[in-house]
């Protein structure tokens, strides 16, 4: 069997071993680039009036401003008309709205579709 002597600058490994290494490096670089490029869904998005929904409430599409008629405030709490869900006023999901409007953050996909994550409510009148 002949032994190959590499030229200067040539990879001394047999070509069959060099190809998988190049593929692994390319894959690693591609995955890193994809992670950097598509990391934005982890960041919160803005409400229409410019404030940012907190990360804990939002996966970049879960929150939206809703009309006053969409949420009914009663003695037992806040009722989400769309789903019939009742959220007590003392619930940790209820938060003060920075712009005085209702904002509803709910799961948009999966088994929990429509389940409230956070509810931003305007200040209560006295």
Asked whether residue 57 carries a pLDDT value surpassing 80, the answer given is yes
Q: Are 68 and 102 in contact (CB under 8 A)?
A: yes
Task: Choose the weakest-confidence range: 51-55, 117-121, 122-126.
Answer: 122-126
The alpha carbon of residue 91 and the mean position of all alpha carbons in its chain are separated, in whole angstroms, by 22
Prediction pTM value: 0.61
Q: How far apart are the first and last CA of the chain?
A: 94
pLDDT 10s digits, 69-87: 999 999 999 999 999 999 9
pLDDT 10s digits, 1-52: 666 665 666 666 665 555 566 666 666 655 555 544 444 444 457 888 889 9
């Amino acid at each position: 069997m002949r032994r190959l002597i590499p030229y200067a600058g040539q990879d001394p490994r047999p070509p069959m071993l060099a190809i998988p290494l190049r593929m692994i490096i390319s894959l690693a670089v591609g995955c890193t680039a994809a992670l950097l490029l598509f990391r934005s869904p982890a960041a919160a998005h803005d409400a229409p009036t410019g404030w940012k929904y907190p990360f804990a409430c939002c996966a970049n599409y879960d929150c939206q401003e809703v009309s006053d008629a969409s949420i009914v405030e009663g003695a037992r709490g806040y009722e989400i008309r769309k789903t019939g869900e009742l959220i007590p006023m003392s619930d940790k999901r209820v938060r003060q709205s920075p712009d005085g409007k209702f904002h509803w953050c709910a799961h948009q996909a999966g088994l929990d579709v429509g389940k409230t994550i956070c509810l931003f409510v305007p200040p209560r009148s006295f």
